[in-house]
Structure 1
Amino acid sequence: MTRILIVDDNETLTGLLKEMLETERIYRVKTAVNGEHGYAAFLQFKPHILITDIEMPVKNGLEMVKEIRAHHPRVRTIYMSADLNRYRALLEEEKMKYHADFLGKPFSCSGVIGLLNEYQKEWR
């Protein structure tokens, strides 16, 4: 079963994503409300895929992923943001170095499922 960690301060969004993904019955999902909690959850849960918002209180998604990559550089990451252009250069670097993906908010459920299906194909 593929483990996914979703980190976003919008608990409604994380709840909806978790529910949607768990109905697929091939994902086990945990959530966290900010980068600090997300880092701790990552260490405990050891997800295969990290889906994170960029702008969050306490610690943002980019800071959290930088800490995670110090120990787990190959974790698959999907960044979410309502303002991708603001972070375009950093996200392009993440894409080049780590094959990270990104989704603009709002996004469709099919967009998330499509990325996850691509990851599943890579692992087969």
Structure 2
Amino acid sequence: MDKMKVLIVDDDEIIAGLAKIILDNMFDNEYIFKIKTAANGEEGYKLSLDFKPDLVLTDIQMPGKNGIEMVRAIRQHSPEIKTIYMSGEWSKFQTPLQEEHTMHQAYFLKKPFAISELKQLLCEA
């Protein structure tokens, strides 16, 4: 079985690291994910060009290119990319997130989130 490639993008190293640990140990230690991390939207976009992830797990609010802008740029090359957006503050991004959900079936996690919530979205994505 091919490993699902996941790109985790978050300017908070602790959250990115925890998300990676969760994915690495999610399904009875069967390593079904190949994971790369990036610290911001610009780095995530550049990394996606070579890595070609199946799914992007991204924070929205980051310095420079935010998560929504980054995913839109990635979609220029990979229109079918699956996305899970994370944020503690949804109100500023409600309209573009609704568009993402409608047009691309994007998923959302409200920070802080439970491991079970992340697992459920990964199974759905």
TM-score for both structures, normalised by structure 1: 0.92
Structure 1: gaps spanning 5 or more residues: 120-124
State the distance in 1 between where 2:119 and 2:112 align: 15
Specify the alignment match of 2:64 in structure 1. Answer: 58
Specify the alignment match of 2:24 in structure 1. Answer: 22
State the distance in 2 between where 1:33 and 1:60 align: 11
Specify the alignment match of 2:122 in structure 1. Answer: 116
- Residue 32 of structure 1, aligned match among 28, 38, 45: 38
Aligned to 2:76, the other structure's residue is in SS state helix
Aligned to 2:6, the other structure's residue is in SS state strand
Displacement of 1:58 after TM fit? 2.0
State the distance in 1 between where 2:83 and 2:16 align: 16
State the distance in 1 between where 2:49 and 2:39 align: 15
- Structure 1 segments (4+ residues) deviating >3 Å: none
- Residue 4 of structure 2, aligned match among 2, 5, 12: 2
* Deviation readout 1:72-100 (Å, 9 max, x if unpaired): 11100011111112211110110000010
State the distance in 2 between where 1:56 and 1:91 align: 16
RMSD: 0.9
In the alignment, does 2:85 pair up with 1:68?
no
In the alignment, does 2:94 pair up with 1:88?
yes
State the distance in 2 between where 1:72 and 1:33 align: 21
State the distance in 2 between where 1:75 and 1:31 align: 16
Q: Give the fraction of aligned pairs with identical amino acids, expressed as a percent.
A: 47
Letter in 2 for 1:103: L
